[in-house]
Amino acid sequence: MKKVLRRYTGNGVIFTTGQDDKKGRISVTISDNIIIGESIAYRADSILQSIREQKPCGYPVWYGITTAVENENLMYILSGLELRHSFYLKSELRLLGLSGSREEAGKIVLNLVQKGYNKGDIFNMKQYLEMI
């Protein structure tokens, strides 16, 4: 796994996380670049590790911004509990961001949509980050 790099922006912290673990235990794909809300940035490493290992996270309240199961042009805001549900773990969701509240998650999604993420002009997080 690559080292985690952090870059701070006005819209949150952007992490470059590297690849998922080599054992193939996880179906939720963690994007190479993830937007992290400022309120949860200090816990992001442990949350991402718990997602990779499919273990409960010690931090009680957090939300993931993911692509939708049926359509990658849609986004979901799922709680940490929902993301550990077997339906989501077995689906091919793509994790785009983490936040400490639904309000913060909504701001991240709004920013992604306003910048054109997944609207035909921008197809992946790397392209999105190059625009901001």
Edge-to-edge strand list for the sheet holding 94-99: 5-9, 12-16, 29-36, 94-99, 63-67, 75-79
Q: What is the pTM of this model?
A: 0.62
Res 10 pLDDT > 80: no
Q: What is the mean pLDDT of residues 18-42?
A: 60
Question: Does the pLDDT of residue 83 top 70, yes or no?
Answer: yes
Asked whether the predicted pLDDT for residue 51 surpasses 60, the reply is yes
More confident residue, 63 or 21: 63
Question: Total domain count for the chain?
Answer: 1
Q: Quote the domain boundaries for residue 87.
A: 5-131
Q: What is the pLDDT of residue 29?
A: 59
Burial environment of residue 32 by CB neighbours within 10 A (0 to 12, 13 to 18, 19 or more): middle
Contacts of 121 (CB under 8 A, 6+ apart): none
Q: pLDDT at position 62, please?
A: 84
pLDDT value, residue 97:
85
pLDDT grade, residue 39 (50/70/90)?
Answer: confident
Spatial separation of the C-alpha atoms in residues 118 and 73, rounded to whole Å: 5
